[in-house]
Structures are given as structure tokens and as C-alpha cells.
């Protein structure tokens, strides 16, 4: 599961990885070479060297040349690797997110994904990707320095290893702690992002109810929990670093004392230059010993965030079943003894059986909580946890591909989401359509005047704040027409509109004779209701009446009462 995401870091990125690895290996070699240079220079000053001053200067120039080539290569390949890796990872994750069905996404917290694509992504880049090369460099430096140290003195190397074992073990044991604390920071950040989203979305309500102080307390509590988690994580990082530093100091001072004693006693043929080189090499042995546990802990923390996102994304993404294909003769939509409950024992829909005939118009009416919107949501499979069957023609909608179902059905809700993009992009949903086809749906949805006045490149603003409610609904209708859906489901689309605009929108919907229209409405206007082929009346989740407006009024049952109260 995690591998499907981590491999995106390296896809089409292997050349950049290769050259960056070579750069870090070269840097490790240069660091080891510097220690050797120190030995040569110290012995040269002591008059005990096989190299002349001119040869030493030449070696320094060679070192500088290698560093220039290495730095130039890194300048191009390292940033390019990180850029391509994160672009491909985010694209893969977002593509997987879009595979989720509507019902599963609706039951999840959007703050989880906001945090994953922002803060967690930064942490993954720093803790998972960048540590790859640092670990390679540290490993090369460790074994290369250790090999040179053994060449100088096996006994002094043994002393160094013995001095560093205990602190190293203590450092390794703390590695899992950082991963847990990093994940906790991610979880607290999700809650923090969610609280920001709530405050911004409900700003008008907060002000209306003068709840600034209370909301401020809740927001501050989320800030405190996030910062407490970061404080705990930072403490863990400092603790791991402190143990690493302690290991380095103990080993380095111990080696210097042991080396000085061996030179004074003329043991193992050590020279002062060798001891100085040995001491410098200890940096490149102890630095990896101090940093590798920390880097491994950071890498494990980054991997935990990748695993967390992968787990969330891979939940409810399968799309298997029948493909309706291109429908030239739209089938009927039929419900057979459908029951649905939000909570166990409390049915929201009770034994609903009905057939919506193709290309006809239907109004669904009823009191608040009667199940009108619930019925529409089931038709869109926004929730498949119901009893009974819903058919498109002869096919059960549970057996149909979600992508195919979403092509066949389109739902328009009261709150139409508008992107901060042009009118044309909002109509086409950023897809490419022939101009003639776009102009046709603009005309059919009643958007012609708006386009003439403002142009199709007019920016709608954040969530369409530059458009009226009626204009948003017309855009939603245009979207449905452009995707050539066979069934239009409209949920209280005109409830927030004035009467004149509501009548205009209803007329647009009723004039769409080539598709099936199922409209949930609370407006009981006789002029509009008479135009529907049939009216369905729900009460307490039951379909208690259906028929034409005049017939229902003549029956003087529940619909008659609803109408008389409303008018």
C-alpha cells in the first residue's frame, strides 16, 4: 500500500537520484580525504613526511576542483529530484482522492486531507526524501573513516569503538519515540486546520450570536494542543541529538588521550600527524553515529505520514461493476421496497416503491424530515447502506460502476459550488468542449444574458461570490446538460431564491424535455406544480400519495393539506 506512493518519488527521476547519490558519496570521500591531508601537513611541519610542500599544494587544488564539480552537479540535480518527487507524489495522492465515491468522502474529515497535502507533505520532503542522501553520505563516511582509522592503528580504533557503543545504543532506542510524536503532531494539526475551517466557514454565525469569546477559547485550545505536541516532538529531537553529541565528545576526547599516550610511548608507529588525522576522522565516525539514529527516526516519522495518507486514500476507492456506456434510449428508474435508516430503529425511508419513467418530470414534496433529500441521495448512491433495490432499467445501481452512474445521473443541490475561475471553466468543469455545444447549454440554461454582459472569461470569485444565487443554479444546470446526463436530480435548488428567480429556474428545468427530471421542492406553487408529469408526496419517510396536481387536490388528502397551509 505504502509502496504505491513511495515509488512515485523515483518514477522518471532515476537520473537525478543517481547523480545526487554520486554527489553525496563524493562529499563523503572529500571529508575523509581532508583528514588524510591533515596528517600529511602535520607530518610535513614536523619534518616527517614523504610529500613536498608543492605536492601538498597540488593536492589541495585537486580537492577544490572535485568540490566545484560536485557542487555544480548538486545545484542542478538535487532540487530537480525533490521537485519531481513531490509533484509526482502529490499528483498520485490527489488522483487517488478523486477515485473515492461521494458517500465515503462525505463521511471523512476534509481537514485530514488539507493537512496531508500541506504540512504533512513538507514533513515528508524534509524527513523522508532529504534523509535518503544524508544517510548514504553518513554510511560512506562512517565505513571510509573507519577503514582509514584501522589503517593507522587497529588498537586505537578499538578504543574508539568501545567508547562509542553505549551512547549509540541509547540513541537507537529513542528512534521510535520521534515517529510516534511526529504522527501526533500531524493528528493535532488536522484538528487545528479543522478549527480554522470551522471558524472561517461559520464566521457570520459566530458574529451573529456574539460567540467570539467562546470560539476563541476553543480555537486557543486547539492551538495549545498543537504546540504542546510540537513541543514534545522537539524535546524528543533534542534528546536524541544530545545523546549523539555526548557519544561524540566522549569518544573524541578518549581517543585523543589514548593517541597521545601511544605517541609518547612510541607504540604502533603513530605520529602526531596520524593522531590529528585520527581525531578528525573520529568526527566522521561519531557524526554518523550521532545522526544516523536521528535520520532513521525522521525517516520513520515521514514514512508514518505516507502510510497514514495511503490508508485514508485507499479506503472506499474501488469502482467495479457494470458500465452503462452511451445511453441513446434512457431507461426508467425504479425503486423496489427501499428502506433506509440513519440510525438503527429510526427509518428515514419506509418501503418506497415507485417507477420514474424516462424523460418525464417529477416533483417530490413533503414536510421537513419527510425523506425527500434522503431519497435523492440514495439515487446518487451517496449512501449504499439501504435495504431493497434501485434499478436503472434492469440493472441494480449497486452493480453499476460509480463513474458510469455519475455520468448517467446529475444532482443539483441548494448550495452550488462555484470555483474561483471563469464562467466558461465553471460550466465546462475545466474540460474541453466544442464552442457550439457550450453555447447550446448556455442558451438552454438561461445564461446567455450573463455571458453577454460579463463575458465567458469573467472570474466568478471564491465560491462564486460575484454571482447571484440564480446565476449559480443556472451554471449547475448548464454543467448537467453539458455532461449529457439522462437524469437530473434537483434538491431544493430554488429554496434560497426569490419567487421570480425561482420560477425562472423551474421553467428552465421543466423545459428540458429530453431528460428525466426529479425535483425536490418546498415551494407549493400551483402554476409550477401543474407542469410536472407527476407529484410524489412523502410523509415520515413513506410515499403516501402520487399523481398530477389537480388529481391530488381533488382527493383532498395530505397533499391538499400541505398546499392549503403553504398558500
**Predicted confidence band of residue 205 (pLDDT cuts 50, 70, 90):** low
Torsion of CA 33, 39, 43, 49, to 10 degrees: -40
Q: 307 by DSSP, 3-state: which?
A: helix
Is the pLDDT score of 548 beyond 80? yes
81-100: burial string, b at 16+ Cβ within 10 Å, e else = bbebbbebbeebbeebbeeb
**Predicted confidence band of residue 105 (pLDDT cuts 50, 70, 90):** confident
Helix axes 469-482, 499-510, angle to 10 degrees: 10
Is the pLDDT score of 244 beyond 80? no
Comparing 89-98, 205-214, 266-275, the range with the smallest average pLDDT is 205-214
Comparing 310-324, 366-380, 493-507, 533-547, the range with the smallest average pLDDT is 310-324
Comparing 101-115, 198-212, 436-450, the range with the smallest average pLDDT is 198-212
- Top pLDDT among 309 and 130 is at 130
> Which range among 115-119, 149-153, 442-446, 550-554 has the greatest average pLDDT?
550-554
Span 280-302, mean pLDDT?
Answer: 81
User: What is the tens place of the pLDDT at every residue in 338-395?
Assistant: 998 887 768 889 999 999 999 999 999 998 888 888 888 888 766 677 899 999 888 8
> Is 413 contained in some domain?
yes
**Predicted confidence band of residue 496 (pLDDT cuts 50, 70, 90):** low
In this structure, the answer to whether residues 362 and 502 fall within a common structural domain is yes
pLDDT at residue 38, as a whole number:
80
Tell me the CA end-to-end span of the chain in Å, nearest whole number.
59
In this structure, the answer to whether residues 393 and 540 fall within a common structural domain is yes
Is the pLDDT score of 429 beyond 90? no
> Is 283 contained in some domain?
no
Q: Tell whether the torsion through CA atoms of 407, 412, 417 and 421 is positive or negative.
A: positive
Q: Which DSSP helix (H) or strand (E) runs through 480?
A: helix 469-482
Provide, rounded to the nearest whole percent, the portion of the chain with pLDDT above 90. Answer: 22
In this structure, the answer to whether residues 434 and 394 fall within a common structural domain is yes
> Is 274 contained in some domain?
no
Domain end marker among 317, 351, 380: 317
User: What is the tens place of the pLDDT at every residue in 156-194?
Assistant: 888 877 776 655 666 566 666 777 888 888 888 888 887
Put the strands of the sheet holding 395-396 in their side by side order: 346-356, 333-343, 387-392, 395-396
Across the chain, mean pLDDT equals 83
Span 446-463, mean pLDDT?
Answer: 88
pLDDT at residue 509, as a whole number:
84
> Is 324 contained in some domain?
no
User: For residue 376, what are the contacts with CB-CB under 8 A and spacing of at least 6?
Assistant: 364, 411, 489, 491, 518, 520
Is the pLDDT score of 535 beyond 90? yes
In this structure, the answer to whether residues 75 and 211 fall within a common structural domain is no
- Top pLDDT among 406 and 333 is at 333
In this structure, the answer to whether residues 141 and 163 fall within a common structural domain is no
- Does residue 137 contact residue 24 with C-beta atoms inside 8 Å? yes
Residue 534 structural domain: 333-566
Q: Which DSSP helix (H) or strand (E) runs through 154?
A: helix 154-173
| Rounded Cα distance, 463 and 399, in Å | 34
Q: Which DSSP helix (H) or strand (E) runs through 333?
A: strand 333-343
What pTM value is reported for the model? 0.67
- 13: exposed, middle or buried (C-beta count within 10 Å: 0-12, 13-18, 19+)? buried
> Which range among 203-212, 265-274, 304-313, 444-453 has the greatest average pLDDT?
444-453
| Rounded Cα distance, 64 and 37, in Å | 13
Per the structure, the count of domains in the chain is 3
In this structure, the answer to whether residues 205 and 345 fall within a common structural domain is no
Return the CATH number at 362: 3.40.50.300
Is the pLDDT score of 318 beyond 60? no
**In terms of Cα–Cα distance, which of 341, 337, 402, 406 is closest to 371?**
341
> Beta-carbon neighbour count of residue 31 at 10 Å?
19
- Does residue 237 contact residue 301 with C-beta atoms inside 8 Å? no
Is the pLDDT score of 25 beyond 90? yes
In this structure, the answer to whether residues 18 and 92 fall within a common structural domain is yes
> Is 200 contained in some domain?
yes
Span 139-155, mean pLDDT?
Answer: 87
The radius of gyration of the chain's CA atoms, rounded to the nearest angstrom, is: 35
In this structure, the answer to whether residues 368 and 306 fall within a common structural domain is no
CA distances (Å), origin 199, targets 117, 342, 366, 460, 543: 21, 27, 33, 23, 39
> Is 322 contained in some domain?
no
Span 19-23, mean pLDDT?
Answer: 93
**Predicted confidence band of residue 255 (pLDDT cuts 50, 70, 90):** confident
Is the pLDDT score of 100 beyond 80? no
**Predicted confidence band of residue 533 (pLDDT cuts 50, 70, 90):** very high
Comparing 127-131, 208-212, 285-289, the range with the smallest average pLDDT is 208-212
In this structure, the answer to whether residues 116 and 262 fall within a common structural domain is no
- Give the pairing type, strands 333-343 and 487-491: unpaired
Comparing 30-39, 71-80, 93-102, 197-206, the range with the smallest average pLDDT is 197-206
pLDDT at residue 151, as a whole number:
85
**In terms of Cα–Cα distance, which of 533, 530, 503 is closest to 517?**
533
In this structure, the answer to whether residues 135 and 164 fall within a common structural domain is no
In this structure, the answer to whether residues 147 and 164 fall within a common structural domain is no
| Rounded Cα distance, 386 and 370, in Å | 17
| Rounded Cα distance, 176 and 297, in Å | 6
> Is 277 contained in some domain?
no
118-153: burial string, b at 16+ Cβ within 10 Å, e else = ebbbebbbebbbbbbbbbbbbebbbebbbebbeebb
- Does residue 281 contact residue 31 with C-beta atoms inside 8 Å? no
Provide, rounded to the nearest whole percent, the portion of the chain with pLDDT above 70. Answer: 89
**In terms of Cα–Cα distance, which of 26, 15, 25 is closest to 67?**
26
- Top pLDDT among 460 and 256 is at 460
In this structure, the answer to whether residues 493 and 358 fall within a common structural domain is yes
> Is 300 contained in some domain?
yes
Amino acid at each position: 500500500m505504502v509502496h504505491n506512493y513511495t515509488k512515485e518519488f523515483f518514477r522518471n527521476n532515476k537520473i537525478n537520484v543517481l547523480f545526487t547519490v554520486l554527489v553525496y558519496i563524493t562529499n563523503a570521500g572529500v571529508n575523509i580525504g581532508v583528514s588524510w591531508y591533515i596528517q600529511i601537513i602535520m607530518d610535513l611541519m614536523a619534518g616527517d613526511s614523504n610529500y613536498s610542500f608543492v605536492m601538498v599544494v597540488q593536492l589541495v587544488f585537486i580537492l577544490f576542483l572535485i568540490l566545484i564539480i560536485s557542487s555544480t552537479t548538486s545545484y542542478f540535480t538535487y532540487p530537480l529530484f525533490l521537485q519531481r518527487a513531490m509533484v509526482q507524489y502529490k499528483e498520485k495522492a490527489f488522483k487517488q482522492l478523486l477515485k473515492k465515491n461521494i458517500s465515503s468522502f462525505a463521511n471523512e474529515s476534509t481537514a485530514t486531507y488539507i493537512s496531508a497535502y500541506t504540512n504533512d507533505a513538507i514533513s515528508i520532503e524534509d524527513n523522508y526524501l532529504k534523509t535518503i542522501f544524508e544517510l548514504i553520505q553518513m554510511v560512506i563516511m562512517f565505513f571510509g573513516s573507519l577503514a582509514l582509522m584501522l589503517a593507522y592503528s587497529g588498537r586505537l580504533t578499538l578504543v574508539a569503538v568501545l567508547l562509542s557503543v553505549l551512547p549509540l545504543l541509547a540513541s537507537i532506542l529513542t528512534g521510535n519515540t520521534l515517529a510516534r510524536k511526529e504522527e501526533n503532531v500531524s493528528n493535532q494539526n488536522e484538528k487545528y486546520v479543522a478549527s480554522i475551517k470551522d471558524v472561517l466557514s461559520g464566521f457570520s454565525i459566530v458574529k451573529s450570536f456574539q460567540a467570539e469569546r467562546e470560539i476563541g477559547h476553543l480555537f486557543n485550545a486547539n492551538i495549545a494542543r498543537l504546540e504542546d505536541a510540537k513541543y514534545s516532538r522537539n524535546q524528543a529531537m533534542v534528546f536524541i541529538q544530545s545523546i549523539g553529541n555526548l557519544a561524540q565528545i566522549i569518544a573524541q576526547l578518549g581517543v585523543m588521550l589514548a593517541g597521545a599516550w601511544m605517541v609518547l610511548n612510541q607504540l604502533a608507529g603513530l605520529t602526531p600527524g596520524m593522531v590529528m588525522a585520527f581525531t578528525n576522522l573520529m568526527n566522521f565516525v561519531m557524526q554518523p553515529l550521532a545522526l544516523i539514529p536521528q535520520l532513521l527516526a525522521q525517516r520513520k516519522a515521514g514514512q508514518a505520514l505516507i502510510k497514514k495518507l495511503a490508508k485514508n486514500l485507499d479506503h472506499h476507492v474501488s469502482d467495479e461493476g457494470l458500465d452503462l456506456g452511451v445511453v441513446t434510449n434512457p431507461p426508467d428508474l425504479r425503486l423496489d421496497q427501499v428502506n433506509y435508516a440513519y440510525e438503527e430503529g429510526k427509518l428515514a425511508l419506509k418501503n418506497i416503491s415507485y417507477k420514474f419513467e424516462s424523460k418525464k418530470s417529477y416533483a417530490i414534496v413533503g414536510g421537513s424530515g419527510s425523506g425527500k433529500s434522503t431519497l435523492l441521495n440514495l439515487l446518487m448512491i451517496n449512501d449504499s447502506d439501504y435495504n431493497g433495490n434501485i434499478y436503472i432499467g434492469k440493472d441494480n445501481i449497486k452493480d453499476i460502476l460509480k463513474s458510469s452512474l455519475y455520468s448517467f445521473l446529475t444532482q443539483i443541490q441548494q448550495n452550488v459550488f462555484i470555483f474561483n475561475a471563469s464562467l466558461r471553466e465553471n460550466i465546462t468543469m475545466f474540460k474541453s468542449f466544442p464552442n457550439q455545444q457550450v453555447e447550446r447549454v448556455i442558451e438552454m440554461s438561461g445564461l446567455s444574458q450573463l455571458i453577454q454582459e460579463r463575458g465567458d472569461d469573467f472570474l466568478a470569485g471564491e465560491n462564486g461570490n460575484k454571482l447571484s444565487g440564480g446565476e449559480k443554479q443556472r451554471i449547475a444546470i448548464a454543467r448537467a446538460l453539458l455532461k449529457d446526463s439522462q437524469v437530473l436530480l434537483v434538491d431544493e435548488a430554488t429554496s434560497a431564491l426569490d419567487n421570480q428567480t425561482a420560477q425562472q429556474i423551474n421553467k428552465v428545468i421543466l423545459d428540458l424535455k429530453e431528460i428525466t427530471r426529479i425535483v425536490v421542492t418546498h415551494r407549493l406553487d400551483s402554476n409550477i406544480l401543474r407542469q410536472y408529469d407527476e407529484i410524489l408526496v412523502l410523509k415520515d419517510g413513506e410515499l403516501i400519495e402520487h399523481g398530477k396536481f389537480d388529481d391530488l387536490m381533488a382527493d383532498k388528502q395530505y397533499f391538499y393539506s400541505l398546499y392549503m397551509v403553504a398558500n
